[in-house]
Structure 1
């Protein structure tokens, strides 16, 4: 079952064509990899999918039953259709605690009204208590509970990455977009990330799309891979098909990719 369709999507910045007529069809529960050289258009595509950029042409459809077109939606609205992301450069609230960072992730889904908040009605306290308990559950699952009162800026790099993912999951997405999650990680942390991403998919019943330059990670966990070059989608297929694609090897992977 498709959870995302991209039809002939393009994004131009003046005379620069960052993304050109890209079409994708993403199935529920897949782990998808987006690879390509720096400047190939991968992060631009993420920004289009999340409403940060408006497409020059083409369409993105998330909720296929309701026909939710991101061309008509702002980022905070897209969140309601089950989309969450992390960034290449970690974007946490550095001077807030670990717990407060996760609580911020629940913000878009809070149900109480302004009136109940102002007058501190029972519905307000009930929602606050439920949200707090859910945040603690996420911290338990990500092994961060013992650090809930620490400032985010004091965490190790690996813990900051996990916290950012936990905060994204607080929005209860259907699709999780990970922008270079292994960036800056050592081999041990990358190996742990491999298991973490697969665990997230199974535990939270998610579709995951990731941008990544670490080919060992991509080849090990992705069911399908899309290859970008100069804003164009130049190849797609299983990891084995991508490793054997001559155009991809010459343009990006190199012969060493065959050893992954």
Structure 2
């Protein structure tokens, strides 16, 4: 069953076409990859999926019944559909503790209302306690529990990446979007990340879509790959199909280099 369907999706900025007529489906439970050269439109595509940008044309359909077309839906509304993400550059509240960063992710899931919070009613304390328990569980999964009271800025880079994923998971998404999660990581950190993504897909019953330039990670973990070039979707399929697609080879190597390797 498709959890995400994109139909004729485009986004223009003045005379520049950043994303052009994209059609694709991601199945529930898949780990899918979005790849392509720099400037191919990958992050713009993620920004469309999460409400940062509004589509110029086309539709984004979540779980067959929630459609985003030319609507000005804010990111928090999209998050309510069950979509969460990380970013190319780590975006943490670096002066806050590791635990508090994760607790922020639970904001959209709090069940108590403003009055309960203002008057410190039992519903407020019950909600806060539950959020703290779940945040601690997430930090344990990420291997960060012992650092819960440290400032986020003091974590090594690889652990900051994990903390950002933990905060995204705190929103209880159905689709997790990871924008270059392995960027800046060493080989061992990338290996650990690959294992982590597989585990959270299974443990949290998620669909994962990632943008990544590390092809070894993409080919190892992704069940379906979508290839962008100059804002267009030029290929899609299994890792084997994509690796052997002439259009993909041309996009990455260029015509001259491709001829030289023939």
Which bin holds the TM-score, normalised by the shorter protein? over 0.9
Task: Summarize the alignment of residues 44-59 of structure 1 with structure 2, pairs less than 5 Å apart.
Answer: 44-59=44-59
* Partner in structure 1 of residue 207 of structure 2: 207
Where does the alignment leave 5 or more consecutive residues of structure 1 unmatched?
A: none
Deviations 1:143-180 (A, max 9, x none): 11100000000000110000000000000000000000
Q: Work out the CA distance in 2 between the residues paired with 1:62 and 1:251.
A: 30
> For the Cα contact (< 8 Å) 1:112–1:124, is it kept in 2?
yes
* Partner in structure 1 of residue 231 of structure 2: 231
* Partner in structure 2 of residue 153 of structure 1: 153
> For the Cα contact (< 8 Å) 1:63–1:81, is it kept in 2?
no
Structure 1 residue 253: deviation in Å?
6.0
* Partner in structure 2 of residue 39 of structure 1: 39
Deviations 1:232-259 (A, max 9, x none): 0000010000111112112116899xxx
* Partner in structure 2 of residue 23 of structure 1: 23
> For the Cα contact (< 8 Å) 1:50–1:70, is it kept in 2?
no
> For the Cα contact (< 8 Å) 1:87–1:178, is it kept in 2?
yes
Q: Work out the CA distance in 2 between the residues paired with 1:253 and 1:22.
A: 23
* Partner in structure 2 of residue 69 of structure 1: 68
* Partner in structure 1 of residue 118 of structure 2: 118
Q: Work out the CA distance in 2 between the residues paired with 1:197 and 1:132.
A: 23
Where does the alignment leave 5 or more consecutive residues of structure 2 unmatched?
A: none
Q: Work out the CA distance in 2 between the residues paired with 1:101 and 1:70.
A: 32
> Number of residue pairs matched?
255
Q: Which moved more, 1:180-189 or 1:71-80?
A: 71-80
Task: Summarize the alignment of residues 1-260 of structure 1 with structure 2, pairs less than 5 Å apart.
Answer: 1-65=1-65, 67-69=66-68, 71-72=70-71, 73-252=73-252
3-state SS in 1 of match to 2:176: strand
Q: Work out the CA distance in 2 between the residues paired with 1:70 and 1:167.
A: 28
Deviations 1:177-201 (A, max 9, x none): 0000000001111111111111110
TM-score, length basis structure 2: 0.95
Q: Work out the CA distance in 1 between the residues paired with 2:146 and 2:153.
A: 15
> For the Cα contact (< 8 Å) 1:103–1:132, is it kept in 2?
yes
Q: Work out the CA distance in 2 between the residues paired with 1:107 and 1:132.
A: 11
Alignment RMSD (CA, Å): 1.4
Structure 1 residue 70: deviation in Å?
5.9
